[in-house]
């Protein structure tokens, strides 16, 4: 006779708290999951993961440095936006929004390239000893930059208006080019007609001249 046992939930005790799972994976502890394969006692060590916070700061640094390079290239002497100093002003404004990062030594500034970089030792120190302050600094910096850029990036904001202004300039120049092209084509057509007319008159003059010469030639022969 074969006996059949009903499936039972996996059970565990975590710091004296009993938990169950209908699978072998437990997710009762916030931010933590673990899977068991046999009965017994085990010690689980949980370390803080600085990856997400560090990635947040790295993304900010990379985005800022890329913006610095792009603006420097495009507004330079040979750039497509040469003389558009409003973009330089925007970069400087973003730089000012990172004041807390500089004050707390989390980032460094290279005056030669205009780039910023992460002070990893200071980041690690704050992460290990003052995590809440670090989180607050990053959150505040993100909000400051977002709020600063809002008037520029919103619909009908500063950048949108500049784009529309450039678009209108392009259209106006194109209209001027089209108008001048039309005038030039009309002038060319007029000159062509005058040229043809002059050729016709020249042919008529040649014909008259030939007839006159022929007439005088006949008269001279009769004499």
CA atoms within 13 A on the CB side of 160: 9
Contacts of residue 180, defined as CB under 8 A and 6 or more positions apart, other chains included, come to none
Which is more confident, 109 or 169? Answer: 109
Domains of the chain: total: 2
pLDDT, one tens digit per residue, over 166-215 is 566 667 777 777 778 888 888 888 878 877 887 887 888 777 777 777 77
User: Whole-number mean pLDDT of the chain?
Assistant: 81
- Residues 13 and 75 placed together within one structural domain of the fold: no
- Residues 11 and 69 placed together within one structural domain of the fold: no
Assess if residue 27 is contained within a domain.
yes
Assess if residue 197 is contained within a domain.
no
Assess if residue 219 is contained within a domain.
no
Assess if residue 210 is contained within a domain.
no
To the nearest 10°, the Cα dihedral for 168, 174, 179, 181?
A: 170
Residues 181 and 85: their CA atoms lie apart, in Å, by 34
- Residues 6 and 55 placed together within one structural domain of the fold: no
- Residues 67 and 5 placed together within one structural domain of the fold: no
pLDDT, one tens digit per residue, over 142-153 is 999 999 888 877
Assess if residue 82 is contained within a domain.
yes
pLDDT, one tens digit per residue, over 31-43 is 677 787 888 787 7
User: Which whole-number Å values give the CA distances from 7 to 18, 22, 27, 124, in the listed order?
Assistant: 19, 9, 20, 47
Assess if residue 155 is contained within a domain.
yes
Residues 46 and 15: their CA atoms lie apart, in Å, by 13
- Residues 6 and 72 placed together within one structural domain of the fold: no
Q: Choose the final residue of a domain: 126, 144, 167.
A: 167
32: containing domain: 1-45
- Residues 34 and 59 placed together within one structural domain of the fold: no
Assess if residue 218 is contained within a domain.
no
pTM: 0.59
């Amino acid at each position: 006779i074969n006996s059949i046992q009903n499936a039972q939930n996996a059970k565990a005790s975590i710091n004296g708290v009993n938990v169950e799972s209908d699978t072998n994976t437990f997710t009762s502890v916030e931010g933590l999951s673990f899977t068991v394969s046999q009965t017994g006692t085990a010690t689980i060590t949980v370390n803080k993961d600085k990856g997400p916070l560090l990635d947040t700061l790295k993304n900010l640094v990379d985005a800022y440095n890329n913006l610095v390079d792009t603006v420097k290239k495009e507004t330079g002497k040979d750039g497509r936006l040469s003389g558009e100093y409003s973009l330089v002003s925007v970069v400087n404004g973003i730089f000012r929004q990172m004041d807390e990062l500089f004050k707390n030594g989390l980032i460094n500034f290279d005056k030669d390239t205009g780039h910023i970089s992460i002070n990893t030792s200071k980041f690690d120190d704050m992460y290990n000893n003052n995590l809440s302050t670090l989180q607050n600094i990053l959150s505040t910096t993100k909000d400051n930059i977002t709020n600063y850029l809002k008037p520029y990036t919103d619909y009908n904001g500063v950048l949108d208006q500049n784009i529309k202004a450039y678009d209108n300039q392009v259209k106006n120049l194109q209209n001027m080019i089209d108008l001048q092209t039309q005038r030039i084509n009309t002038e060319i057509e007029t000159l062509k007609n005058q040229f043809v007319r002059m050729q016709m008159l020249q042919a008529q003059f040649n014909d008259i001249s030939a007839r006159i010469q022929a007439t005088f030639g006949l008269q001279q022969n009769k004499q």
